[in-house]
Structure 1
Amino acid sequence: MSTTTATLQDVASVDEFLNVAATETVPLFEHLSFEFLRDYDVFAPASRGRTRVHQPPDLFCAFLHCYYEDVYGTRPVTRELKDGLVWYYCGLDKPPSRDTIDRFLTDLEHIIDDVFDQLVEQAAIRGLLDVTYSIDSTHITAIQYNDAASWNYDPTAEEYYYGFGCTIVSTGPKIPIAAEFTQSKQASKETAMRVTRDALAVKKPMWMLGDSAYDVLDWHDHLLAAGVVPVAPYNPRNTDDPKDIEYRVEARINEHSEDVQLKQSVLDKQYNHRTGVERTNDATKDCGLGHVRARGRVHARTEVFLTLCLRVVVAITNHERGDDPGREKLTL
């Protein structure tokens, strides 16, 4: 996004100026309030030192704009915010310095999980979550200068990549509702359980879908105890005495309940919806999830969760404007 002096000189009135100044990202700030960011202690003014010139809600809006426009990294973000129309519409009084941008990101690291949770709650309030959740892991490439990243193998793409991973639970119109940043695409059982618990804390679904990597007894039992039906393909390689079933839940229900029966056709129909999480991964990668430019693990994790926040905000904004919340961009 750029504006030339000649363009501004041709503007004859304030109204015309505002029309010229309007950007695609402006609606991102119209339907959600980010004032809750002021309540975090990490942003509280220091007892000694300079008062904050730029407020956390405005800087958060600035990052939403930059990520939407595929601008990442403290230097590029600082350059983007030198544009008078950009910093004005983000609510800033003047362009922030690179030190301000870097300090805000460092502070945000401490509370980014909670910020994401608050935005997901706003999506839930608007009825954007449905009764089917899906869980999956995806790969995230990193810059070669990030010493915290590592070489990993992605069996889906059948290739090695340098970077990290992210486990996501999604629902509704491509909305991520729980996530965890991991060292590689292949998440541990502990990570899967933690992300699953976080998702159930948002709102209890009827179904939870996962691929054969989630053929884990603890995962199934936790969901069944919560009143959720887990649907993950049975992996016969997990045992020396394989069962004649397609889904692990068939065996768990037979073992623990004499009254409940689930036809395999019903499970097949539900499992077909699992592609929703893959579409969510793709939509979130359009927000910057696919490649992190930050150095270090902590900075990279913050960048990942910022992209997740942006995806939720885009969905809510489209919904509020009467558009399909599953759209990956805003309508002009």
Structure 2
Amino acid sequence: MSSTIAALQDVTSVDEFLNAAATETVPLFEYLEFEFLLEYDVFAPASRGRTRVHQPPDLFRGFLHCYYKNIYGTRPVTRELQHTLVWYYCGLDKPPSRDTVDRFLTDLEHVVDDVFDRLVEQAAVRGLLDSTYSIDSTHIEAIRYNDAASWNYDPTAEEYYYGFGCTIVSSGAKIPIAAEFTQAKQASQETAMRVTSDALAVDTPTWMLGDSAYDILDWHDHLLAAGVVPVAPYNPRNTDDPKDIEYRIEDRIEEHSEDVQLKQSVLDETYNRRTGVERTNDAVKDCGLGHVRARGRVHARTEVFVALCLRLVVAITNYERGDDPGCEKLKL
């Protein structure tokens, strides 16, 4: 009986809870080091006024559970965490109030980047990344009550949407390894450079792939200096004298190196792998990226990164259980 109770403490869905009670199955997410959240002072009791009591790993587990069940927004999350089985298996002492959930989401904003980075590290040490990184931007729809959002045009869908954007670098089996929340889908050059640098801090790949929006000289030169081959289609824009090339890297190599040559067929074959980042975007949207229900930019950004974290959690958990890390759901 004691082993059954131990198993019940960490499971992450009501179905799994009931299953564990009968079979003592391995709890989901047990391989993840949620206790690292305790390292951050933002969750410490307030020095003045009323003590702010938090249970960071437990509430974070609760948010992951809710996002996995397609439950978003502080009010729906609070309702879900009122269920006895849910708050119990999350490790909470009692059901959290909406104020507690809202306050946790606000405080999480201060460390959510670190949480995401730590999960990326866990994915990297497990060998879930490969030698090809891909970068892309995607749209994020927001509720109309979010005054911080704006109307933006999505050229891919050829339609306008109300919301924000997110630039993601991915690798391996739909693994997001760097990201930034943006006001619109189309990222600025500064954002592209920053997210690229964050990705290179994880590891140095052989290739970095991007669409024609990343036909940026500084982006190419930065990657080449780091020993990475950037592959992005050449975009002639408004030039009156376009170059006879398919990819910007052809021109950069010709200008800066006499010894290096890249075959067109190799570049074409490599660029075809860029669809991986689009699959990553879709996988993260299934984790909540496409359902930002928060008001304000701060909570919206935090919810986006919770979705990114959930995608990493699912991939790592599947890997540790011997399942396909690219699978977007957990096998019970």
Taking structure 1 as the reference length, what is the TM-score of the superposition? 0.92
**Paired letter, 2:89:** Y
| CA deviation after TM superposition for structure 1 residue 47, in Å | 2.9
Q: Tell me whether 1:70 sits opposite 2:70 in the alignment.
A: yes
- Give the structure 1 partner of residue 317 of structure 2: 317
> Could you say which residue in structure 2 is the equivalent of 1:21?
17
Q: Deviations over 1:179-218 (max 9, x none)?
A: 0111111111101000000000011100000000000100
Write out per-residue CA displacement over residues 1-57 of structure 1, whole angstroms, 9 at most, x where no aligned residue: xxxxxxxxxxxxx77x96973479x84431112111111010112234555554111
After TM superposition, give the deviation of residue 291 of structure 1 in Å: 2.3
* Counterparts of 1:153 and 1:119, CA distance in 2: 32
Matched pairs, number: 317
The answer for the alignment partner of 2:242 in structure 1 is: 242
3-state SS of paired residue (2:120)? helix
Give the residue type in structure 2 aligned to 1:299.
Answer: H
For residues 27 and 310 of structure 1, the distance between their equivalents in structure 2, rounded to whole angstroms, comes to: 16
The CA distance in 2 between the partners of 1:50 and 1:321, in whole Å, is 43
Q: Secondary structure at the match of 2:302?
A: helix
Residue type of the alignment partner of 1:265: S
Asked if 2 retains the 8 angstrom alpha-carbon contact of 1:142 and 1:292, the reply is yes
Where in structure 2 are the equivalents of 1:236-315 lying within 5 Å?
236-237=236-237, 239-315=239-315
Tell me what 1:113 maps to. Answer: 113
Could you tell me whether the CA contact under 8 Å between 2:54 and 2:104 is conserved in 1? no
For residues 16 and 132 of structure 2, the distance between their equivalents in structure 1, rounded to whole angstroms, comes to 43
Distance across 2 between alignment mates of 1:146 and 1:191: 23
1:93 Cα offset (Å) = 1.3
After TM superposition, list the pairs within 5 Å mapping 1:56-135 onto structure 2. Answer: 56-135=56-135
Post-superposition Cα deviations, 1:87-120, rounded to whole Å, max 9, x if no partner, equal 1111111111111111111111111111100110
Change (3 A) 1:187 1:232: same
Q: Contact 1:136 / 1:167 at 8 angstroms: preserved in 2?
A: yes
| Seq. identity, % | 84
Corresponding residue of 1:227: 227
Letter in 2 for 1:182: T
Please state how far the C-alpha of 1:240 moved relative to its aligned partner: 2.6
Deviation at 1:236, TM superposition (A): 1.6
Partner of 1:158: 158
* Distance in 1 between residues matched to 2:311 and 2:215, nearest whole Å: 29
Alignment-derived partner of residue 143 in structure 1: 143
- Alignment correspondent of 1:328: 328
Q: Are residues 1:184 and 2:184 paired?
A: yes
1:71 counterpart letter in structure 2: I
Gaps of 5+ in 1: 1-13
d(CA) in 2 for partners of 1:42 and 1:143?
A: 28
| Contact kept? 1:176, 1:308, Cα under 8 Å | yes
**Distance in 2 of aligned mates of 1:322 and 1:140:** 32
Secondary structure of 2:288's match?
coil
CA RMSD, 1 decimal: 1.8
Decide whether aligned partners of structure 1 residues 94 and 275 sit closer, same or farther in structure 2, where only a CA change above 3 A counts.
same
Q: What are structure 2's unaligned runs of at least 5 residues?
A: 9-14, 21-25
Asked if structure 2 preserves the Cα contact closer than 8 Å seen for 1:28 and 1:314, the reply is no
> Contact (CA 8 Å) 1:54, 1:92: kept in 2 or not?
no
